[in-house]
Amino acid sequence: MKPTSLIFAVIALVSSWGYAAFGGTVSGTVKDPSGAPFKGAFVRARKLKSNVTVNVLSDKQGRYQLRDLQSGDYNIQATAIGYKGDPSKSVKVEAQPVSLDFSLQKGAVQWTDLSNYQAREVLPAGKGKPLLVTRCFACHGMQTRMAARRQDQASWWRDVDYMRDSMRYFLRDQINDEAAAELASYLTDNFGLDSTAPHSPAEMPAWEKVKRGEFSDEAMKIVYVDYDLPGPNRMPWSAAPDKDGNHWIPYYGRANQVGRLDPKTGLVQEFRAPYPDTAAIHSAVMGPDGTVWFSEQGSNRLGHLDPRTREVGEFQAPLKPGIGTERGSKHTVRVDPSGTVWATGSPLSKFDPRTEKFTEITEVPSSYGITLDKEGNVWFTEFTETGKIGKVDPKTLKVTKYTPPTPNARPRRIQIDTDGSVVFAEFGSGKIARFDPKTETFKEYPLPGPAPTPYALGIDRSGNIWYSSEATDIVGRLNPRTGEVIEYPFPYSENSMREFHLDAEGRMWFGTPPNNKVGYFVLAPGS
């Protein structure tokens, strides 16, 4: 890291939580069952009477350090997959450093520990499995909502039917009564009161092929700070910064709200959308006038809220004949300097708040990621097997598309680098790609791992490209100058990150919907 970057990282770690400089420090070691140093354990600090948690990793000497913690009472715990840790330890953090050591004992890998990739590979075969790993895994995995509990078939049927109803714009045409019964039966077999599945996925034949290898030494140098949301099942899709340092959070599913987080206090204020059914709020960003626009995938509406008056309104886009998203949908929004709102979905569209008129870009019947360049062009991705990236001239609405070199790339999120290059995630091919609009040429960077599935995408101030792996629960950093990729572990299973947003302090913000948290990550000082 360059000296200026190091200074910045220290500032970010201190100012992020609203803590004063020279805050408290908790440090120590983590040992394995033999007493040797344990590399790669997450050490978690949760401040009591707070919604903030800080996660760091133990290095190859087993050492960890939690820096610049605000004074107060904390619970500190060390965890690692396949190990039992000491009970969490309560400490009072003040100006004087605190030393805490942890010992891990061998334990069992839990079904709740798995990544989506591992779950797909090791779950037993059955009629309901294809539905589970294609339809259910599109929004969440099985770790937090299924493997974490045991219940009878009637209860699983109730839950499946609830999901069909609450997400019917997405599921009703995919899961009929027969398919729902198969899914409920499959869940009962594997997560029922008399489950036939092994206690640990490590007992499954496929486990040896999918268990995670060791992360690099560099991967231990990441810090995660996350915030719990005010209530359960908010399903936070992202956390986009505004000009005042707050972060706007779209709640997917039936929560039908947008949250505003103050990172200094952890306070979250919530704004309810008027739509009475499942709005499935997918994206929320602030416009140039200080008001916030959000998209409703379930209703094909755009929403608008004024933080000063708390007034929330909605604008219905034209609906088409059909079921679910065939009627039309609003996906990810961006607001250009003139205040025009651009939204991906079915189809790509623009909305003029002055006339309250939608204009549909019919040449782009389905789109996913979206970003704006310095010239005002609107760049988008088509998340299909034959999907392209493209741009729309905001004045003429002329559409130009470009085909990625790799078949079945399935472009997903998209960003503009400082040099004007277009960077996008190839979810299907497991690559990050750069497109030069001047030469109209592509350069692709293969990503490591058995199922890279790059989803959330961000570019930091040093030009590094960050991505989340939807299937393998890692955060990756690509250096486009060298092609080097560092994979960092994530402290929770089923990360399901959808978008990254870089704030003014250089912190990369995310939402982890199944874990009901938003937060950010930075590299530790000295990285």
Mean pLDDT by 10 residues, the chain (527 residues): 33 37 83 97 95 97 94 95 90 92 96 96 95 91 91 95 86 83 95 92 95 96 97 96 96 95 96 96 97 96 97 95 78 97 97 98 97 97 97 98 98 97 98 98 97 98 97 97 98 96 97 97 86
CA distances from 496 to 331, 433, 468, 475 (A): 16, 21, 8, 11
Half-sphere exposure of 86 (CA within 13 A, CB side): 18
pLDDT of residue 167: 86
Provide the 3-class DSSP secondary structure of residue 241.
strand
Residues 456-490 as b or e (16 or more Cβ within 10 Å = b): bbbbbeeebbbbbbbbbbbbbbbebeeeebbbbbb
User: So what's the pLDDT on residue 418?
Assistant: 96
Q: 216: which DSSP letter?
A: P
410: alpha, beta or left, given left = phi > 0 and alpha = psi -120 to 50? left
Domain residue spans in the chain? 3-106, 115-210
Three-state helix/strand/coil letters over 98-119 = EECCEECEECCCCHHHCCHHHH
Using H for helix, E for strand and C for coil, what is the string for 26-67?
A: EEEEEECCCCCECCCCEEEEEECCCCEEEEEECCCCCEEEEE
Give domain 3-106's CATH number out of 1.10.10.10, 2.60.40.1120, 3.90.1170.10, 3.40.50.150: 2.60.40.1120
In a 13 Å sphere around the CA of 121, the CA atoms on its Cβ side amount to 19
Question: What secondary structure does DSSP assign to 118-151, as a single string?
Answer: HHHHHSPP-TTHHHHHHTGGGT--SIIIIIT---
Give phi and psi for 52, each to the nearest 5: -105, 135
Whether the bond into 347 is cis, omega within 30 of 0: yes
Quick check: pTM over 0.85?
A: yes
What CA–CA distances, in Å, run from 370 to 77, 381, 391? 40, 7, 9
pLDDT of residue 171: 78
Question: Scanning the structure block, which residue is given the tokens 């936070």?
Answer: 236
